[in-house]
Amino acid sequence: MNILDKIVRDKRLEVDLRKSIIPTSQLEASVLFNREIVSLAQNLRQSNSGIIAEHKRRSPSKSIINHDLNVQDVASGYEKSGVCGMSVLSDGKYFGGSLDDVLVARASCNLPILRKEFIIDEYQILEAKSYGADVILLIAAILSKAEIKQFSEFAKSLQLDVLLEVHNEAELHKSIMPSLDMLGVNNRNLKTFHVSLETSKKLSIKIPDDFVKVSESGIGSVSAIKELKPYGYKGFLIGENFMKTDNPGVSALKFIQNLES
């Protein structure tokens, strides 16, 4: 069983438990449920940098990244730096995150917020909306084509943006559908954790121009972004690069200044 299989197995148990504690009616009654969404896809289309900055405490591949920072400081720092959006890991067991992190980030900035999660149930999409997220992530590697369609259409019915993540051509082929806003290519092989920008380059020509192209993982330098932009990428998800510093906001600001200079 690879790490992704383990995460999904544990996620099913976690979601079943959450559903038994908090009914959907309670999620829909959240004060944030009817707020107007800030579109990440739109921000990326209009941006020069395209940076989506992440809040991530740890990961299965890197262990602890940073446990000392609070979400409020990271979110307000990212907003000041001029990033396009913020990704917030909400998985607890493997990434040290929580839905409360999404809530605090929402209260601390006006950036579009992506709930980065292993979504396997519509319930999690309602959670994302009720905790103030603007965007959900769907991972093709853990979903069938029917599930991608069901979850993306449900998210769109709630006015949420949808970022779908793929790792290879087979996942891309089963995923392309009108209910997606952004197609993300993850440069990390989930079985080996090996990272290569070639994955983004190779898949770029297969992604129709209707979708905002996003490259994820392994983007630790300005040169990596400059390398990928000619392939049509408008979004770049950067997590560890900023989070491993003492001040992710300042780190993101310097990165963007270097990128635009």
Segment 82-94, tens digit of pLDDT: 999 999 999 999 9
Supply the pLDDT for residue 86. Answer: 98
Q: Which residues are catalytic?
A: 54, 56, 116, 165, 186, 216-217
Q: What is the pTM of this model?
A: 0.96
Q: Binning pLDDT at 50, 70 and 90, where does residue 248 land?
A: very high
Alpha helix stretches (DSSP H) within the chain: 3-21, 24-28, 40-46, 71-81, 99-108, 122-130, 145-157, 169-175, 198-204, 222-228, 240-243, 248-260
Domain residue spans in the chain? 3-260
56-65, 220-229, 251-260: segment of lowest average pLDDT:
56-65
The rounded mean pLDDT for the chain is: 95
Q: Binning pLDDT at 50, 70 and 90, where does residue 246 land?
A: very high
CATH (one of 3.30.450.20, 3.20.20.70, 1.10.490.10, 3.40.80.10) for 3-260? 3.20.20.70
Over the stretch 51-71, which tens digit does the pLDDT of each residue have? 999 999 888 777 787 777 899
Name the CA radius of gyration of the chain, rounded.
Answer: 17
Supply the pLDDT for residue 196. Answer: 95
Supply the pLDDT for residue 65. Answer: 75
**Cα(49)–Cα(30) distance, rounded to whole angstroms?**
33
The mean pLDDT of 29-46, rounded to a whole number, is: 97
